[in-house]
């Protein structure tokens, strides 16, 4: 019965993504190719003092991304430190400096890692004017960078990749704001709360009292999922009944976090003038999604032991209203999309099931990945696959008519190496520096041994890949982890963006070459399998040793 219900859930999810994703992709393609500005957009351009008609080369585009990101960190940090002076602060004190630094970087980089309990740490002004605002901006940056790369691939020796200010403003006004408004209304109808009630005290049936937290949850929940931001208004995240009250709201949140990343595949096909390319990208993403979903479902349903068998599955850390398979679907969707939201505790998954969640992030979160970051991450791997195929058959590799030479493959290689370096160096320093290792082992790790190692591995993998979810057994609000994870989030976000935009500029300077019979067809099943294989092999070679020290060792021992 559970299997049939899960199959129907998957079918409903696919239908919803097609029904809503098809018109959304058409609208987004028009958004980034139109020469017409809305009146409110022209007002924003005048306020910013930018020329909306000026095309930019990639260094200028990058400077705009970095400028708005640095200002975002400074603003959000100041907002947290000045919290007692703000309206709707709920009487909460200023956020401590180290935690404020970590949180500011977390939300600006689309990571939304939270080393704190939100409902008792930040008031409504910080939540709305700070965290929610950055949810919009960070999501818009990811989409803008992806669109810039697509323009570079489609360009005919123009050397330009668009206008960063136009892309950001249009993404917010034409895509994220309308979708978030509609999603918030539907979430409200399902029972997600939206108020400014603070912490009312109520009397229970037994004569006692209880404090019930409130807040503007539905509005933040909408952009949290749509922008693949993650995080939670409450500490329990999407396991909290005020954030995720019903099975319908749970499925709706999965639809929201997958909608834009999958829709962008068709946007890619439309913008390069070959819809088959978008379908090939989509097919590869779906194939990888199905592989990891099946693996995690197998590990979590198998479980082990008398208690697990009696419960009908590994129910520790999972709610009865969602069950094992729906929890697996949510976990797979969030760890494959850079969304830190959870409806069950990944720390309580079986060792091998938790390992799959870590692997999802180690794959680069490109099936379908975060909004924008999933598409440009996938295109990087597709270009690598084209290059490898060219080496095997002895031909000059090209992708959609653009030659992949030494300059281009350098940017691709740097992109692919950056995140593993950030993750593994951060992890290595944590255990290599004696004082840090002793502090982490005694203060942060609740479960010593392989599982404790897995908790720290998950933290750096989540931070470096801008996911934000966590193995909840790790206490990360310490000076070292606040600083090191903050650095991992920043480097894991912006170093890859540098290489993506540099690659976009390199492609934009090229005149497209006509495709011939001797070139690799990038819209056929062979290319889908080649690209999926490239993702799996590169990730396995990079991360297998460190997985063997943590979740794999724990799983084999259990």
pLDDT of residue 312: 58
pLDDT(453) > 80: yes
* Domain assignment of residue 346, yes or no: no
pLDDT at position 324: 87
pLDDT of 310 strictly over 70: no
Q: Are 232 and 135 in contact (CB under 8 A)?
A: no
Spatial distance between the Cα atoms of 513 and 352, rounded to a whole number of angstroms:
46
Nearest Cα to 521, choosing from 406, 349, 385? 385
Among candidate residues 172, 458, 456, 494, the one with its CA nearest the CA of residue 342: 458
Report which of 486, 482, 425 is spatially closest to residue 457, judged by C-alpha positions.
425
Give the mean pLDDT of 170-198. 95
* For residues 535-553, average pLDDT: 88
Predicted local confidence at residue 499, as pLDDT: 98
**Residue whose token pair is 């960063």:** 164
CA distance 303 to 316: 11
Region 422-447 average pLDDT? 93
How confident is residue 397, by pLDDT bands cut at 50, 70 and 90? confident
For residues 98-114, b (16+ Cβ closer than 10 Å) or e, as one string? bbbbbbbbbbbbbbbbb
**Position 307 pLDDT exceeds 70:** no
pLDDT band at 516 (very low <50, low <70, confident <90, very high): low
pLDDT at 394 over 80: no
Largest Cα–Cα distance of the chain, in whole Å? 80
Given a contact cutoff of 8 angstroms between Cβ atoms, the answer to whether 446 and 459 are in contact is no
CA nearest to 233, candidates 247, 214, 246: 214
- 280 is a domain residue: no
> What DSSP character marks residue 469?
-
Using the structure block, give the residue that is written with the tokens 């540098």. 498
Q: Render pLDDT for 223-256 as a digit per residue (tens, 0 to 9).
A: 999 999 988 898 888 989 999 999 999 999 999 9
**Between residues 462 and 314, the one the model is more confident about:** 462
Mean pLDDT along residues 292-304: 86
Q: Give yes or no for residue 145 having a pLDDT over 80.
A: yes
- pLDDT tens across 82-107, in order? 999 999 999 999 999 999 999 999 99
- Which pair of tokens denotes residue 422? 């950030």
Give mean pLDDT, residues 347-358. 90
Looking at the structure of the chain, the number of domains it has is: 1
For the chain, give the percent of residues with pLDDT over 90. 70
Q: So what's the pLDDT on residue 395?
A: 72
Asked whether residue 118 is assigned to any structural domain, the reply reads no
- 142: in domain: no
**pLDDT at residue 459 tops 90:** yes
* 427 three-state secondary structure: helix
Cis ω for the linkage preceding 368 (within 30 of 0):
yes
Residue-wise pLDDT for 272-294, tens only, equals 999 999 999 999 999 999 999 99
Cα 463 from chain centre: 10
User: Could you tell me if residue 405 is inside a domain?
Assistant: yes
Residues 6+ apart with CB under 8 A from 230: 111, 112, 224, 334, 338, 339, 340, 341, 467, 468, 469
Mean pLDDT of the chain: 91
Residue 46: is it exposed, middle or buried by C-beta count within 10 angstroms (0-12/13-18/19+)?
exposed
What angle is formed at CA 247 by the lines to CA 245 and CA 248, rounded to 5 degrees?
95
In terms of Cα–Cα distance, which of 357, 209, 386 is closest to 293? 357
| pLDDT surpassing 70 at residue 308 | no
What's the confidence (pLDDT) of residue 408?
Answer: 94
Give CA–CA dist 341/519, Å, rounded. 42
Residue 438 lies in a domain: yes
Pair type for strands 209-211 and 201-203? antiparallel
Percent residues over pLDDT 70 in the chain: 97
The dihedral built from the CA positions of residue 25, 375, 275 and 288, taken in this order, carries a sign that is negative
pLDDT of residue 517: 61
Alpha carbon 83 to its chain centroid, in Å, reads: 28
Residue 499, domain member (yes or no): yes
**Which two structure tokens, joined as six digits, stand for 223?**
């952009």
Say what the alpha-carbon torsion angle 425, 430, 434, 438 is, to the nearest 10 degrees: -170
Domain range spanning residue 496? 371-557
């Amino acid at each position: 019965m559970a299997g049939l219900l899960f199959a129907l859930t998957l079918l409903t999810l696919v239908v919803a993504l097609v029904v809503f994703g098809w018109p959304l992709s058409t609208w987004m393609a028009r958004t980034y190719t139109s020469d017409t500005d809305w009146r409110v957009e022209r007002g924003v351009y005048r306020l910013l003092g930018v020329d909306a008609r000026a095309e930019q080369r990639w260094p200028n585009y990058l400077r705009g991304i970095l400028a708005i990101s640095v200002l975002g960190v400074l603003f959000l940090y100041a907002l947290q430190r000045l919290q007692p002076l703000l309206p709707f602060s709920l009487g909460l004190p200023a956020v401590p400096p180290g935690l404020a630094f970590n949180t500011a970087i977390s939300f600006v980089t689309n990571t939304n890692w939270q080393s704190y309990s939100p409902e008792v740490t930040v008031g409504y002004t910080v939540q709305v004017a700070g965290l929610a605002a950055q949810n919009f901006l960070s999501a818009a940056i990811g989409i803008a960078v992806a669109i810039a790369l697509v323009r570079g691939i489609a360009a005919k020796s123009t050397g330009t990749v668009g206008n960063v200010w136009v892309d950001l403003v249009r993404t917010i006004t034409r895509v994220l704001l309308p979708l978030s408004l509609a999603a918030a209304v539907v979430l409200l109808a399902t029972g997600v709360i939206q108020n400014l009630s603070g912490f009312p005290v109520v009397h229970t049936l037994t004569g006692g009292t209880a404090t019930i937290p409130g807040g503007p949850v539905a509005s933040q929940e909408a952009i949290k999922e749509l922008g693949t931001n993650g995080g939670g208004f409450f500490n329990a995240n999407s396991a909290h009944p005020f954030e995720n009250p019903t099975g319908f709201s749970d499925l709706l949140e999965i639809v929201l976090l997958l909608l834009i990343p999958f829709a962008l595949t068709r946007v890619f096909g439309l913008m390069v003038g070959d819809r088959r390319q978008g379908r090939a990208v989509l097919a590869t993403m779906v194939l990888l999604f199905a592989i990891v979903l099946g693996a995690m479902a197998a590990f979590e349903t198998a479980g082990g032991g008398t208690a697990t068998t009696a419960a009908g599955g590994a129910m520790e850390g999972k709610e009865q209203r969602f069950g094992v398979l729906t929890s697996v679907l949510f976990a797979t969707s969030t760890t494959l999309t850079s969304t830190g939201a959870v409806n069950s505790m990944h720390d309580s998954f079986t060792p091998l099931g938790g390992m799959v969640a870590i692997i999802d992030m180690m794959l680069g979160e490109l099936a379908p990945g975060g909004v924008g970051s999933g598409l440009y991450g996938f295109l990087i791997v597709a270009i690598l696959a084209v290059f490898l195929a060219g080496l095997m058959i002895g031909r000059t590799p090209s992708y959609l008519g653009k030659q992949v030479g030494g300059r281009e493959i350098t940017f691709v290689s740097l992109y692919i190496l950056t995140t593993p370096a950030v993750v593994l160096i951060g992890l290595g320093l944590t255990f290599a520096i004696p004082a840090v290792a002793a502090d982490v082992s005694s203060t942060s790790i609740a479960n010593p041994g392989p599982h404790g190692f897995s908790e720290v591995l998950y933290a750096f993998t989540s931070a470096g890949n801008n996911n934000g979810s966590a193995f909840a057994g790790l206490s990360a609000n310490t000076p070292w982890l606040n600083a090191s994870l903050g650095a991992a989030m920043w480097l894991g976000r912006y170093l890859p963006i540098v290489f993506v935009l540099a690659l976009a500029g390199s492609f934009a300077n090229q005149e497209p070459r006509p495709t011939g019979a001797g070139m690799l067809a990038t819209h056929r099943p062979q290319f889908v399998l080649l690209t999926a294989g490239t993702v799996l092999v590169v990730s396995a070679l990079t991360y297998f040793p460190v997985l063997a020290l943590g979740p794999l060792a724990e799983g084999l021992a259990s």
